[in-house]
Structure 1
């Protein structure tokens, strides 16, 4: 958990925290731990209006995600500015670009600007991994990664951080060469000795192998067939954030004990909206949210045989907590270099 910083004493000019700096000061384990310890209290002290979404073209959009705290331990106002351009994949660029602006809630001064593209990737992956620590089997051995975009390597590494017994990661993508390239890149990274990274061209064939199945796509057609999920599997749904997107079919939702990051998923996630409309499940069938899991108010995995499902759509609460840890870690590291 980050140590609170007295922002009234911060009188220097705003700092810019680049992607390179952010990566050098933050780990998945530290962010996951920070979210686990901070989310319950922050959820009570933070004001986080619904995200503003504006279509800038028929396919692109601008999103604004503000959040501010009434707690002295979280003395910040934060706003994430996001652009979504799905056609960027043809340019070998992320579809999402973002900047986060952090202000002091005491003085209103600008404290920091940071690369929120990276922040979003890290916090999204860390939320999935945190949920997995409650919902997947402790002895999970095989992770299936559905999608090979910019979020995929972060999800893989975050899941590995909470499930170190994972021995094999199989990556699928609509464009097979991207899955092959990601597997090759991960094989060359240090720290994953003993983990086998593979790619596949037929998702249906490998889904049944997955102890954890993590999905990060913008698909509008169901990719994961619920009947193919193995006994004891955990399904992690990250990609969809509109009513038209869905990464799994109704059977996957019906078979699993379903949890969400927060109740906004009921309105935004295509898998859930569609399942509600078709009468597959009702809102009362959603077993709980991530804060309730952390606080122990709702049971996570009950036995090794049940199927669990976690759906996240993201929130300003998680953004400001990630920004807090990044900013306060940056100040500490800068101070160490000065002494």
Structure 2
């Protein structure tokens, strides 16, 4: 296949995410951002490595998908702006990319989004429209805005560019693991909401075992993978501090790839998340938000067997100061 033909395929909005797309996204990300560190952490008698995406400029891996998507917009699309929906991390990723590229951004955010995430999104220049998470559809609101303005909708995970952009994290951690240990990761534990990071990481690491981790009661991806078809979160899901992972139903773009790989998932309790946040702060000196700590929580709780080449994602660090202080103090 010629280089031009490959590029045409990678720019087709109807395509599925691919390894070639992930590798292209990784090259684009490496041009503007340094790799986030892969930090060693002892758990019992083993040392695992933690991919500290909480140290990104916006405090989360979502900067990757936002940049990959927006840099592929043509001039006409850029002039009409972009529309995203998110509880905060994807919001900031899109807003950061839009500001850097001179694109107008509107973000639909739930009224109960963490204050820090909403303020940071506004500070990056995005227009924020709020909605009620339980009674309104953010997808419908975004679709209506797009119809009115012609703006391009940038979903948080149901988009090939976004998945491939998040997969650049998987490319980075693979090369970092090889450099540090001499071998590829054989076990990657990933925080999961809609599955964008997990799917991109799976594409980037075809030889590794991937496990997705969700908060208790919000484990629709794990249940879907177990049943073999997409199911929504059960009625009246419990309150959770993992706002970044409150996905009511995953999409086929992520589910299909994860299911074909035979990937499974586990869930963690809020108490287990708190333990992980405290350990990350005490041992790694990093701030991790509840949703960004679920993968580490599963490893600490022994819900997933670890190896000497296990990588855990610390996917975000955007948490209100008061809540973080309360959790760290126990």
Higher helix share: 2
> Which TM bucket (shorter chain)?
0.3 to 0.5
TM-score, normalised to structure 1, is: 0.39
TM-score, normalised to structure 2, is: 0.40
Higher strand share: 1
Higher-Rg member (1/2)? 1
